[in-house]
């Protein structure tokens, strides 16, 4: 009995130490929101009635999609930090932001170059590849789900660049829409189970 209690105590200490060094505010709602916003952006571009040429409509729409997804992520992350009584702009949050930042800057620069060269067909693949690399960089300081997301986007980016150039809306929908939605649902379900398990343990210990 004492051995079991000691193991549980060590596990709690380990979890507290990991929480102080790893980014834990990974919210499934952010992924779901990003996926749905991306689907909406794809629908707008496919609709084809924006008062601009196709390239301008595509880039403008997905810039709006990025801003809306980013704001949704900020909102849900803030709400999670508030529920956990933890700071929003913590040291782990600053760490993952700095880890992702170089890939974001590279994405902006390459987007400008591709638009100037008229290579809109390569933009989705470039965005996926750099987003995946950014997630992989973050995964050293975040849960395993970020690693899985990063690998998925890297693979999607490679396929988009090598096999499906010229299918911009389809690839954006499948990757930033579909992968984000699947990721968000998986994280939400996992968190629901994690909440139920401790409650079950408490109920069993009361007998």
Tens digit of pLDDT at every position of the chain (207 positions): 456 665 666 555 455 445 545 677 788 899 999 999 999 999 999 998 888 889 999 999 999 999 999 999 999 999 988 887 888 888 888 889 999 999 999 999 999 999 999 899 999 999 999 999 999 999 888 888 999 999 999 999 999 999 998 899 999 999 999 999 999 999 988 866 654 444 344 343 333
The Cα 70–Cα 37 span in angstroms is 11
pLDDT at position 201: 41
**pLDDT, tens digit (0-9, with 9 covering 90-100), for 41-65:** 999 999 988 888 899 999 999 999 9
Residues 77, 22: Cα–Cα separation, whole Å: 15
Report helix, strand or coil for 44.
helix
- Residues 140-155 have pLDDT tens digits of 888 889 999 999 999 9
Say which residue the tokens 């079991």 belong to.
4
Model pTM score: 0.81
The predicted pLDDT at position 170 comes to 94
Dist. CA 165–CA 188, nearest whole Å: 33
Show me where the domains of the chain are located: 25-205
Determine the Cα–Cα distance for residues 104 and 134; give it in Å rounded to an integer.
8
Predicted pLDDT at 11: 59
Q: What is the pLDDT of residue 206?
A: 37
Phi, psi of 104 (to 5 degrees): -65, -45
Q: What local confidence, expressed as pLDDT, does residue 102 receive? A: 94
């Amino acid at each position: 009995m004492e051995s079991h209690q000691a193991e549980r105590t060590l596990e709690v200490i380990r979890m507290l130490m990991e929480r102080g060094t790893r980014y834990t505010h990974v919210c499934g709602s952010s992924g779901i929101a990003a996926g749905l916003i991306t689907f909406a952006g794809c629908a707008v571009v496919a609709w084809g009635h924006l008062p601009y040429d196709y390239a301008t409509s595509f880039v403008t729409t997905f810039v709006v999609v990025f801003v809306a997804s980013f704001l949704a992520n900020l909102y849900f992350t803030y709400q999670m930090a508030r529920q956990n009584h933890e700071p929003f702009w913590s040291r782990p949050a600053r760490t993952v932001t700095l880890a992702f930042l170089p890939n974001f800057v590279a994405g902006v620069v390459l987007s400008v170059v591709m638009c100037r060269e008229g290579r809109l067909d390569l933009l989705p693949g470039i965005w996926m590849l750099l987003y995946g690399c950014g997630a992989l960089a973050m995964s050293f300081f975040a849960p395993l789900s970020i690693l899985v997301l990063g690998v998925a986007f890297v693979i999607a980016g490679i396929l988009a660049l090598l096999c499906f150039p010229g299918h911009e809306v389809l690839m954006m929908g499948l990757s930033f829409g579909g992968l984000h939605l699947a990721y968000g649902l998986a994280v939400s379900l996992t968190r629901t189970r994690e909440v139920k398990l401790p409650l079950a343990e408490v109920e069993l210990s009361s007998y």
